[in-house]
């Protein structure tokens, strides 16, 4: 029985050792990732390993896993415009490495290639592009600025084996002095518009007064001409028409109105 247990123990130990060796000889590459093999005797291999489970030589080879999916990164930069205004810009980048260039990236830059490359080249490109525009153009031509930054940065990143899927300006502000100057300019423009409105309103009122005066003058002239032609008869006719209208209005009233007999209290017409 002792020999049986000893044999079982040896078999179990051998199985454990064999399992450990097999386990150390296997490695997995997840979806969206790639692996680069580092050999202790030959260095970094040129072969890029794809997704799945793969074999390696234990203690001799080591897999370095890279994420090849697009990842976002925000890079804030403070730079100056063409007219020497301070500009705060935040650039959002979607980047990923070129899978076929992973051995060169690992050899020349390292696993933290994004930390070493993106901030420096982004700052360089942003300062170069922003310096071509003044502060006003950065606002009015923001799409052009973003496109030039994207083109220049994509070309620069390609030299490091990086692909930029998207580059966009997410934040753009100016210094305190420029912001206050813009606000003061807007207030001045509003005051100028208000003053122009007041002037135009006065001009319109002046024109209306002139037209009204001309109308009154014309009416007075017509009345004077009528009086000169018809004499006092026109005045007597207007008195009779007024008296007729007043009598009609009084007759429709519900109140009882007494008029003194024999007196022309309303119009004082001659007897």
For strands 71-80 and 61-67, give the pairing: unpaired
| Domains of the chain: residue spans and CATH | 1-67 (no CATH), 71-174 (3.30.479.30)
Query: Which pLDDT value is given to residue 180?
Result: 64
pTM over 0.75: no
| pLDDT band (50, 70, 90) for residue 269 | very low
What does the alpha-carbon distance between residue 92 and residue 166 come to, in Å, rounded to a whole number? Answer: 8
- Give the residue among 205, 109, 200, 232 at the shortest CA–CA distance from 159: 109
Which of 97, 34, 41 is closest to 63 using CA atoms?
Answer: 34
Q: HSE-up of 35 (CA within 13 Å, CB side)?
A: 21
What does R_g of the chain's alpha carbons equal in angstroms?
48
CA–CA distance, 125 with 268 (Å, rounded to integer): 99
Mean pLDDT, the chain, integer: 81
pLDDT confidence bin for 44, thresholds 50/70/90: very high
Q: Is the pLDDT of residue 249 over 70?
A: yes
Q: For residues 142-156, give the mean pLDDT.
A: 93
Contact status, residue 94 vs residue 145, Cβ threshold 8 Å: no
pLDDT tens across 195-245, in order? 787 788 888 888 887 888 777 777 777 777 766 676 666 667 677 778 888
Sheet containing 33-39: give its strands across.
43-49, 33-39, 61-67
pLDDT, tens digit (0-9, with 9 covering 90-100), for 95-127? 999 999 999 999 999 999 999 999 999 999 999
Residue 51 has φ and ψ, to the nearest 5°, of: -70, 150
Q: What are phi and psi of 191, to 5 degrees?
A: -65, -40
* pLDDT (tens digit per residue) in 89-103: 999 999 999 999 999
Which residues, in sequence order, are CB contacts of 100 under 8 Å at separation 6+? 48
Above 60 in pLDDT, residue 18? Answer: no
CA 178 vs CA 140, 169, 183: distances in Å: 16, 20, 9
């Amino acid at each position: 029985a002792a020999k049986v247990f000893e044999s079982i123990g040896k078999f179990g130990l051998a199985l454990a050792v064999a399992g450990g060796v097999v386990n150390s000889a296997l490695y997995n590459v997840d979806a969206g990732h790639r692996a680069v093999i580092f050999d202790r005797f030959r260095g970094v291999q040129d072969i890029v390993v794809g997704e799945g489970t793969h074999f390696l030589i234990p203690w001799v080879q080591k897999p370095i896993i890279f994420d090849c999916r697009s990842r976002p990164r925000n890079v804030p930069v403070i730079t100056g415009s063409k007219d020497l205004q301070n500009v705060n810009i935040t650039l959002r980048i979607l980047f990923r490495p070129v899978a076929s260039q992973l051995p060169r990236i690992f050899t020349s830059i390292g696993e933290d290639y994004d930390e070493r490359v993106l901030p420096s080249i982004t700052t360089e490109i942003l300062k170069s592009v922003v310096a071509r525009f003044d502060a006003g153009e950065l606002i009015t031509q923001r799409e052009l600025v973003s496109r030039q930054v994207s083109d220049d940065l994509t070309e620069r990143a390609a030299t490091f084996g990086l692909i930029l899927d998207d580059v966009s300006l997410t934040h753009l502000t100016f210094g305190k002095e420029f912001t206050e100057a813009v606000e003061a300019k807007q207030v001045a423009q509003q005051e100028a518009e208000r003053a122009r409105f007041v002037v135009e309103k006065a001009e319109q009122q002046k024109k209306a007064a002139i037209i009204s005066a001309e109308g009154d003058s014309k009416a007075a002239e017509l009345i004077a001409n009528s009086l000169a032609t018809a004499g006092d008869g026109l005045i007597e006719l207007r008195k009779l028409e007024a008296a007729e209208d007043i009598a009609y209005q009084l007759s429709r009233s519900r109140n009882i109105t007494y008029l003194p007999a024999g007196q022309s209290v309303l119009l004082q017409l001659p007897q």
